[in-house]
Structure 1
Amino acid sequence: MAEKITKRHADPALAEARRGQILIAAADCFRRKGYHGAGMAEISKTAEMSAGHIYNYFASKEAIIEAIIERDMEEMFSIFQQFEDHPDDLVSVMTEGADEGVEHSMDKEQGALQLEMLAEAARNPKVAFLLQQSDTHARDKMRRLLTGERSLIKDVTDKELDGRINVLFAMFGGLLLRTTLYPELQKDTILLALKPALRTLLMPF
């Protein structure tokens, strides 16, 4: 079946508000029902608008997933930008910023949605591509940050830098699984071990 074409909207602010309303509703449905269990009827009911109205903003469920991924990526990039703009040394800035990263990674609602998208990626090549593309952009952004003048590891080899970036991402990404398997896990406990490990990765060996 051909995808429906989303319409142009005369009021950009209203359109953005409607898109946000749909994304919040869809994320809630995906968490509760799973990607396949949450049809457009369920999403429209949660968003309190007709399915036809939703199609004015998103051509398909995959388009909604894509927008959720883009939103999450923009949030991540805003954190990277804060690191870049802060005048203090990069190691201190990123270590202190770990608090926000850990809190986000241990958010149960966000984690449930992320797990559902990862599960769908195992079945759906398009969703897998979108998540992989988001990860590539995030790694590229981190690479630019760690090769900048304020970085203490700007001169390491590309292979070593790639390894450090992937370990950094694995540390935060793995908290999603730890929180799911160990619900009593506390942020303060994680930060006691994570901050020294983060400093090690951001400094020459």
Structure 2
Amino acid sequence: MNLPLNKEERARLRRDQIITAARICFRNHGFHGAGMAEIAQMSALSVGQIYRYFTNKDAIIEEIVRRIVETKVNHMQFKKGDVQETAAMLSHRLLAGDPQEREIDHALMLEVAAEATRNPTVARILREADDRLFGQAMDMLTGLRPDLNQEQLAVWVEFMAVMCEGTAFRRLNHQKANPSLLNRFYLSLFTTILPASEKK
């Protein structure tokens, strides 16, 4: 016999229910096109129930971004043994984790980036998300490359961020470069970057 859920567990399930619905609505119609009424209908809740857990649409966006960042942190790998996998994923434009969920994550983050240009609250959310991802990557790379100082580490993290985010963005277009050739190029680049110490 299942025990009844306590108040905290019920609240968590309700929030999950709302976020799942909001992800679909935002993915299909964008932040401006999807209203609270549509999110309520998709989540099988009333608008009033949604406002019990999220003060407004920006709060829902913030929670979605927080969860996407959490997923990215969990999949983040900066290990020497992973350079082949990283090169293969970038060259073939693959996303870590469940492909369908990561595709939605990517589309939502593009929407967040666009909204950040006109909404100061969303701009703050995006900055905080980037700060967390950048800091996590710095911590991971510090263990891999203790010979580099903080400025040098920041250069490598910025480079990898541009590579990963640029590749994700280019998934929207037909791939023009040969993936096999691209894979060899990335692999050569990464094995050059990661093992060798940078001379000061």
With the shorter chain as reference, the TM-score category is 0.7 to 0.9
Q: Which of 105, 118, 121 is the equivalent residue of 2:116?
A: 121
> 1:12 aligns to what?
8
Q: Are 1:162 and 2:154 counterparts?
A: yes
Task: Assess if the C-alpha contact under 8 Å between 2:84 and 2:187 holds in 1.
Answer: yes
1:12-161 maps to which residues of 2 (within 5 A)?
A: 12-80=8-76, 83=77, 90-93=79-82, 95-96=84-85, 103-104=94-95, 107-148=102-143, 151=144, 153-161=145-153
TM-score, normalization: structure 2?
A: 0.80
Task: Assess if the C-alpha contact under 8 Å between 2:31 and 2:111 holds in 1.
Answer: yes
Cα drift, residue 121 of structure 1: 0.7
Q: 1:117 to 1:199 in 2, by over 3 A?
A: same
Letter in 1 for 2:141: L
What root-mean-square deviation, in Å, do the aligned CA atoms of Structure 1 and Structure 2 show? 2.8
Q: Which has the higher contact order (CA 8 A, sep 6+)?
A: 2
Q: 1:187 to 1:76 in 2, by over 3 A?
A: farther
Aligned length: 187
Cα drift, residue 183 of structure 1: 6.7
Q: Alignment partner of 1:141: what SS?
A: helix
> 1:202 aligns to what?
194
Q: 1:163 to 1:34 in 2, by over 3 A?
A: same
Task: Assess if the C-alpha contact under 8 Å between 1:168 and 1:201 holds in 2.
Answer: no
Task: Assess if the C-alpha contact under 8 Å between 1:168 and 1:198 holds in 2.
Answer: no
Cα drift, residue 189 of structure 1: 7.2
Letter in 2 for 1:17: L
- Measure, in 2, the Cα distance between the counterparts of 1:185 and 1:48: 45
| Larger displacement relative to structure 2 (18-27 or 103-112) | 103-112
Task: Assess if the C-alpha contact under 8 Å between 1:143 and 1:161 holds in 2.
Answer: yes
Cα drift, residue 188 of structure 1: 6.9
- Report percent identity of matched pairs: 32
Letter in 1 for 2:160: L
Gaps of 5+ in 2: none
